[in-house]
Structure 1
Amino acid sequence: MSYSIDTLQSDCYEGTSCLINKFGIKDEVILKELETTITLNKITEYSLNPLFYSFDVQHYKSIHRYLFGDIYDWAGEYRTVDMSKKGTNFAKAESVEKLMSNCFKRLNDKNLFQGLKFDDFVDEFVDFYCVTNMIHPFREGNGRTQRLFLTQLIN
């Protein structure tokens, strides 16, 4: 998890960098193992039977809620703290909602990238990936949510 955050204000147990979770686990290693097991099962289930098809912001948030709702109360909700990881600063928390709205408006305006020439599709797809990654809308689980959404988008 190794994010740069202030644990006093970031949904972590006091004196730790372990996210508050529905299991009361305060050890990051144990939580990470449990989170990996749960989300891997959820990703497999979802891949076999996708639940959402609107390809809008709510769809994206619903995937996150589906993957992480058994672990975190805030699953599917935008983060409320600023974050960075390995020297990369993500979008300010107060900007996330507007940036995500703009990103998905563009996806909709581009007709979900359907009908584009291959090179144009690749450019748009990569741009969407990069933008959603830099926004990093959730406190945890951004990559898994992003991969599942994009896999569904291209299928």
Structure 2
Amino acid sequence: MEPPIDEAFLVAIRITELEQDPVRGAFDVAHLCEVHRRIFQDLPQYQPGQFRPPAPTHVKARVLESLGVRYYVPYAPRNRVDAGITRTLSIRNPRNAQGMSLAQFASYLAQFYGDLDYWHPFVEGNSRTLRTFTRQWACQAGFVLDWGLSKHTEAARDRLYIARDKEVLARAFPHLTEERAMMTEDLVEYEAYVMLHRFRSYASLETLMREWTTRAPDRSVSKTRTSEPERD
């Protein structure tokens, strides 16, 4: 009997390969799909390089490791993904970010990542794909984005989850107020308000981007240290 496949290890190898030899492309939809395909090429069940199939909803249960808190994150409906992510990638080109200050870039990148995360185009592996894609994107803009700083402890990982999920929920339920939350019959919308209210004082995604980004010493593609196995 063959031993079970260590999916996280296989993916970590592919991510390391992409750090050494990134996808060449225009940072468009085809580029993003190729990053996903190369990361998950050994795992056909992840549908490498393909957007998730049609479904009425796409909701993920989040469990925060350090806090033991559970909540749900609703991503964009499938019928909005293609147009939405195409537009996001067309207006957020790394050339537009060249010459920005670190503060400007952190804000720009946080908005970009928040949009991509909300579209959540793949059935699995969105986080690993977006980290790899935005690392290369930042490098082309003249910055180094070190996602490794988000993985050292359970608390550090949860800090990123909370910051990301607040961005997604703000896009899923724009202008969500307490009054609206109290009147809704949508449990996910109500829980979104509870989550946003509970974690309102936690660091924003923009704050984290400021912490993890530095200006690149040159315009070559950054070669970062080997990634640890990732599962998100």
Same fold (TM over 0.5): yes
Q: TM-score range by the shorter chain?
A: 0.7 to 0.9
CA contact (8 A) 1:103 1:131 kept: yes
What is the CA distance between 1:75 and its match in structure 2?
1.1
Specify every segment of 5 or more residues in structure 1 that has no aligned partner in the other structure, as ranges: 1-29
Equivalent-residue separation in structure 1 for 2:8 and 2:117 (angstroms): 20
- What TM-score, normalized by structure 2, do the two folds share? 0.50
2:119 corresponds to: 135
CA contact (8 A) 1:56 1:104 kept: yes
Which of 42, 52, 60 in structure 2 is aligned with 1:79?
52
What is the CA distance between 1:51 and its match in structure 2?
2.8
1:48 counterpart letter in structure 2: Q
2:58 counterpart letter in structure 1: M
Equivalent-residue separation in structure 1 for 2:74 and 2:20 (angstroms): 34
Equivalent-residue separation in structure 1 for 2:97 and 2:44 (angstroms): 32
3-state SS of paired residue (2:80) = helix
CA contact (8 A) 1:60 1:149 kept: yes
How many equivalent residue pairs?
123
Equivalent-residue separation in structure 1 for 2:136 and 2:96 (angstroms): 11
What is the CA distance between 1:112 and its match in structure 2?
4.5
CA contact (8 A) 2:15 2:39 kept: yes
2:8 maps to 1:36: yes
Which of 136, 153, 157 in structure 2 is aligned with 1:152?
136
3-state SS of paired residue (1:40) = helix
CA contact (8 A) 1:55 1:153 kept: yes
2:91 maps to 1:106: yes
Alignment of 1:9-28 (within 5 A): none
1:78 counterpart letter in structure 2: F
Specify every segment of 5 or more residues in structure 2 that has no aligned partner in the other structure, as ranges: 62-71, 140-232
3-state SS of paired residue (1:85) = strand
Alignment of 1:40-51 (within 5 A): 40-51=12-23
1:44 counterpart letter in structure 2: T
Q: Highest CA radius of gyration, 1 or 2?
A: 2
- What's the Cα RMSD here? 1.7
Ranges of 4+ aligned residues in structure 1 off by more than 4 Å: none
1:27 corresponds to: none
Residues 132 and 126 (structure 1), Cα distance of their counterparts in 2 relative to 1, 3 Å cut: same
Question: Which range moved further: 82-91 or 110-119?
Answer: 110-119
